[in-house]
Amino acid sequence: MTQELPIEKQTKMQLYVTSQGAFDLWKASPDKVKILDVRTTEEYLFVGHAAIAINLPAFLQVYQWDAEKQELPTKFNPAFPEKLKALFSPDDTILVTCRSGGRGAMAANMMADMGYKNVYNITDGFEGDTINDPESVYDGQHLKNGWKNVGLPWTYDIDPSLIKMTDNK
């Protein structure tokens, strides 16, 4: 699977799963398999999320337009390592998701550097890959696969205990 994955979705541990595979793993062992959503809190709240996913952003939204890249960039979340250590042990099975697999891979690599051993990147993320069809009204949109698009359970509802950038324990 490594050769098929774009480089930005590959990880040091080379542990990968699709969103459907992640849901199946979690469903088979919900007490042992944890799903970690590393998207920004804004994405988690307003785009939706897997109801079972813990949100701990690996990156935070920066609210200053980058004219060169034509985007609002993100920056590393300095609280990520400390909060991660409080949530998980190095031997836990953690399935990491982001929008489409890139930030999930970066977070999985950070976790590998911290000594975590069983961290899987959910390669299609929550929203999936982009449609690449100039003839389609959906060209460039993240609708190809991903948790939300393959019909897995997701919600906009908030469980404050799953959002770890707040003071909730």
pLDDT tens readout for residues 90-120: 999 999 999 999 999 999 999 999 999 999 9
Q: Does 169 reside within a domain? A: no
Q: Is it the case that residue 2 has pLDDT exceeding 60? A: no
Give me 98's structure tokens.
Answer: 């982001």
Q: Does 68 reside within a domain? A: yes
Report the number of distinct structural domains present in the chain. Answer: 1
What range does the domain containing 138 cover? 2-153
Q: Does 167 reside within a domain? A: no
Q: Does 106 reside within a domain? A: yes
Per-residue pLDDT at 3: 58
Q: Does 158 reside within a domain? A: no
If you average pLDDT over every residue of the chain, what do you get? 93
Which CATH number is 35's domain given? 3.40.250.10
pTM exceeding the 0.85 threshold for the entire prediction: yes
**b/e per residue 107-116 (b: at least 16 CB within 10 A):** bbbbbbeeeb
Mean pLDDT, range 24-49, rounded to an integer = 96
- Residue 36 Cα distances to 18, 84, 94, 137, angstroms: 14, 10, 7, 32
Per-residue pLDDT at 25: 98
Beta bridge partner(s), residue 23? none
Q: Does 166 reside within a domain? A: no
Q: Does 162 reside within a domain? A: no
Query: Residue 37's pLDDT band (boundaries 50, 70, 90)?
Result: very high
Per-residue pLDDT at 169: 43
- Digit-coded pLDDT (tens) for 42-85: 999 999 999 999 999 999 999 999 999 998 899 999 999 999 99
Q: Does 159 reside within a domain? A: no
User: Could you tell me which of 120, 125, 113, 98 has the C-alpha nearest to residue 15?
Assistant: 120
- CA of residue 21 relative to chain centroid, distance: 14
Per-residue pLDDT at 168: 43
- Digit-coded pLDDT (tens) for 135-167: 999 888 888 899 999 999 999 999 999 999 865
